[in-house]
Chain A
Amino acid sequence: MTHLSTDNGPTVGSAADEKLAPVASSADRPRAGWRAMLPTMTPWLALGLFLVISIALFGTIGPYLVGDPGQIRDIGLTAPSGEFVLGTTQTGQDVFAQLAHATRGSLQIGLLVGLIATALSCFFGIYGAYRGGLTDEAFSLLSNVMLVIPGLPLVIVISGFVPREARGLWTIAVVLAITSWAGSARVLRAQTLSVRSRDYVAAARVAGERSWRVIVVEILPNLLPVIASQFVFAVIAAILGEAGLAFIGLGASNASTLGTMLFFAQNGFALGMGAWWWFAPPGLLIALFGMGLSLINFSIDEIINPKLKNVRAHRKRARKAIRLEREVRRADRRTAGRSEAGAQEVASR
């Protein structure tokens, strides 16, 4: 570096020495921004999306297409038939109609809890870590305390404490949300601590950005995949948690969910009487919905997890390399054969 030219003139040539890299074909181009946030479409992701979307459609549109789930008929417990697709309960209620309404109830709880828990974890995780100092210590302590409180017993205690008539959908959702945000908040805190020390955050502050803008515009987008994954996980946990609560009779009193369906099936001795159409559909629906969300979550995980991040791209590149190598070898063999033939020709002359 001692032989720098001292030419201080305006640099016309400097732009030329680093011409724009030719825009790579769209397939090879690394993705960024919104596109980098979206997972690659794989069969597993497709299956997950299919399950979640169809169950969600069933939960939203279904209740309008079926009859009154509460209507009591004097036919009693009947197996699935042409009239009642999934049979009837002990009191002659249409199981299929109940299933549609229960799915809607469970989805509502899941969505509500997912939103509240994500909002809480974002606030305590990101804001605390960004502010640092005493705020961070306090928020961190709070989430650690929430983390070590055993969730299910607390939920049972709170739900048992709230009088039955006040125990609505919202109460259950809030109870489930405040017991489930802490883990995510810790993860978000760690991520924020890493992102906030990056130069681009410092640059935004030097440029004069306000704190909330730095958090929302500069930091938050880089955490979106993590937040999405946590949201999906919170929804699964909430639906399962609510089903558990409802099953032991502590669910929402004003809403029917898949959990309350299982509760009534259990109370009506469905298992003992072999009435599989009564308890199997809600159980299966919970399992399938959980599976669908998990499959989506695995795909999101491929974006967040640095270990999985490039696996697919590497595999693709490796396959391409093998294919190329094979072609080159084939071409070599062909030219070798041709030159051999040429040599024989020369020799024969």
Chain B
Amino acid sequence: MTRVHVTDLVKDYTIREGLRRSRLRAVDHVSLDLTPGRTVALVGESGSGKSTIAKILTRMESPTSGTVDVRLDDGTPVQGSLYRRQVQMVFQDPYASLNPFHTIEHHVARPLRIHQRTTGAAQTHQRVLEMLERVNLSPAEQIAARRPHELSGGQRQRVAIARALAPGAQVLIADEPVSMLDVSIRLGVLNLLGRLQREDRLAVLYITHDLATARHFSDEIVVLFRGRVVERGPADAVILDPQHDYTKLLAMAAPDPERGPARVAAGAVIDRAAIDNSVCYDHFAGEWQQVGSPARSAATARSAATARRTA
């Protein structure tokens, strides 16, 4: 069992335009915890910093400041090649995340070999077939010999999940795993992820922009807006009782045939440009909190928060 504590994560990108340099803060003082057997959904629009967090957690990018602390149950920190074994990722686009040149077997066998989960060709092959069976890909023998382009999007995503779990990962980062799939297949892949999570007691970070699947699939929701956390809490509380303007906007954006036009009208009331991301509503604590180093002074933010509460 592995726990992840992310504290005050900041990621700046420098943008160069000719001689001018500017700084873009993609992630701004984000903290979150991943615990075994629980799913945390990270919800936000494009450019809100979701994928940057995923990249930092998988060590494809290094944070500007803040820490990612990954520890085993006995308290030993997870580092080096052990980190790669423990923390794995499922990518968004199953059409891009598998190498068109290699067979399915290669994709699942490589992590097994790299992390010495198996020895010898025969045992590796056996394990690959087991992994494929686990993600409901059968007949495994046939699938293993195929190449990615011969599989459907859903099947490819299952292969990607098998690959992520192959090293024996305990922490799974799923970066919009179903957004590129047909609606009819999404539920199947999500349920598969749910089952694997329960079987292996995985800690899952589910990154999405879709509140509905976030509620269905996760225990806790963290809403991200322009790099900052603006609302966090138990999944049902965040969806049914959104406090922050941005969360309300997100909830309204999901089409609901029962309320239909009324919702759209309500959505027009909130001005996107005026949404304040320096305050965060924490459903666990039941109060508004100051996030990060605010652009405005703490006093005005607090007054904004109280104004919102009284409104």
Q: Cβ of B103 < 8 Å from any Cβ of A?
A: yes
On chain B, the residues within 8 Å of A204 by CB distance are 99, 110
Q: Mark A200-231, 1 if CB is under 8 A from B, else 0.
A: 10111111110000000110011000000000
Tell me how far the C-beta of A15 lies from the nearest C-beta in chain B, rounded to whole angstroms: 4
Partner of B111, one of A2, A8, A202, A208: A208
Q: How far is it, in angstroms, between the C-alpha of A207 and the C-alpha of B99 when the chains are bound?
A: 13
Partner of B101, one of A4, A8, A33, A209: A33
Q: Mark A19-36, 1 if CB is under 8 A from B, else 0.
A: 011010000011011001
With contacts A11-B191, A17-B188 taken as known, whether A218 is within 8 angstroms of B99 at the C-beta atoms is yes
Q: How far is it, in angstroms, between the C-alpha of A14 and the C-alpha of B137 when the chains are bound?
A: 10
Question: Can you name the residue of chain A whose Cβ is closest to the Cβ of B154?
Answer: A18
With contacts A199-B93, A222-B100 taken as known, whether A207 is within 8 angstroms of B110 at the C-beta atoms is yes
Interface residues of A in 1-16 (CB under 8 A from B): 1-2, 4-11, 13-15
Interface contact B210-A206, CB-CB below 8 Å: no
Partner of A203, one of B115, B160, B189: B160
On chain B, the residues within 8 Å of A14 by CB distance are 136, 185, 187-189, 191-192
On chain B, the residues within 8 Å of A317 by CB distance are none
Question: Can you name the residue of chain B whose Cβ is closest to the Cβ of A11?
Answer: B191
Stretch at the interface among B81-89, B266-274, B280-288: B81-89
With contacts A199-B93, A207-B84, A208-B114 taken as known, whether A1 is within 8 angstroms of B188 at the C-beta atoms is no
Partner of B97, one of A8, A20, A29, A199: A199
Tell me how far the C-beta of B205 lies from the nearest C-beta in chain A, rounded to whole angstroms: 14
Partner of B192, one of A11, A36, A217: A11
Total interface residues on A, CB under 8 Å, equals: 38
Interface contact B256-A207, CB-CB below 8 Å: no
Interface contact B163-A203, CB-CB below 8 Å: yes
Total interface residues on B, CB under 8 Å, equals: 56
Q: Cβ of B60 < 8 Å from any Cβ of A?
A: yes
Q: Cβ of A323 < 8 Å from any Cβ of B?
A: no
With contacts A1-B213, A18-B155, A209-B114 taken as known, whether A199 is within 8 angstroms of B96 at the C-beta atoms is yes
Interface residues of B in 58-115 (CB under 8 A from A): 58-60, 81, 84-85, 88-89, 91-93, 96-103, 110-111, 114-115
Q: How far is it, in angstroms, between the C-alpha of A13 and the C-alpha of B192 when the chains are bound?
A: 11
| Most chain A CB neighbours (cut-off 10 Å) among B84, B93, B99, B167 | B99
Interface contact B187-A4, CB-CB below 8 Å: yes
Partner of A1, one of B58, B101, B254: B254
Q: How far is it, in angstroms, between the C-alpha of A135 and the C-alpha of B154 when the chains are bound?
A: 39
Q: How far is it, in angstroms, between the C-alpha of A200 and the C-alpha of B152 when the chains are bound?
A: 17
Interface contact A199-B152, CB-CB below 8 Å: no
With contacts A33-B102, A202-B91 taken as known, whether A207 is within 8 angstroms of B138 at the C-beta atoms is no
Q: Mark B121-151, 1 if CB is under 8 A from A, else 0.
A: 0000000000000001110001100011110
Q: How far is it, in angstroms, between the C-alpha of A7 and the C-alpha of B91 when the chains are bound?
A: 25
Interface contact B188-A11, CB-CB below 8 Å: yes
Q: How far is it, in angstroms, between the C-alpha of A204 and the C-alpha of B184 when the chains are bound?
A: 29
Interface contact B187-A199, CB-CB below 8 Å: no
Q: Cβ of A198 < 8 Å from any Cβ of B?
A: yes
Interface contact A206-B254, CB-CB below 8 Å: no
Q: Cβ of B212 < 8 Å from any Cβ of A?
A: yes
Question: Can you name the residue of chain A whose Cβ is closest to the Cβ of B160?
Answer: A203
Question: Can you name the residue of chain A whose Cβ is closest to the Cβ of B256?
Answer: A2
Question: Can you name the residue of chain A whose Cβ is closest to the Cβ of B181?
Answer: A18
On chain A, the residues within 8 Å of B255 by CB distance are 2
Interface contact B213-A4, CB-CB below 8 Å: yes
Interface contact A10-B195, CB-CB below 8 Å: yes
On chain A, the residues within 8 Å of B194 by CB distance are 8
Interface contact A15-B136, CB-CB below 8 Å: yes
Q: How far is it, in angstroms, between the C-alpha of A1 and the C-alpha of B214 when the chains are bound?
A: 11
Q: Cβ of B216 < 8 Å from any Cβ of A?
A: yes
With contacts A18-B152, A206-B60, A208-B81 taken as known, whether A5 is within 8 angstroms of B111 at the C-beta atoms is no
Q: Which residues of B contact A (CB under 8 A)?
A: 58-60, 81, 84-85, 88-89, 91-93, 96-103, 110-111, 114-115, 136-138, 142-143, 147-150, 152, 154-155, 160, 163, 166-167, 183-185, 187-189, 191-192, 194-195, 210, 212-213, 216, 254-256
A-B contact pairs, 9 of them (CB 8 A): A4-B187, A5-B187, A6-B216, A13-B188, A18-B185, A32-B150, A206-B84, A207-B114, A222-B100
Identify the 5 closest CB pairs spanning chains A and B, nearest first: A14-B188, A208-B84, A199-B97, A11-B191, A199-B96
Contacts A14-B188, A21-B152 known; list 19 others, CB within 8 Å. A7-B191, A8-B191, A9-B191, A11-B136, A14-B189, A18-B154, A199-B91, A200-B96, A202-B97, A203-B97, A203-B98, A206-B60, A206-B89, A207-B88, A207-B114, A217-B102, A218-B102, A221-B102, A222-B101
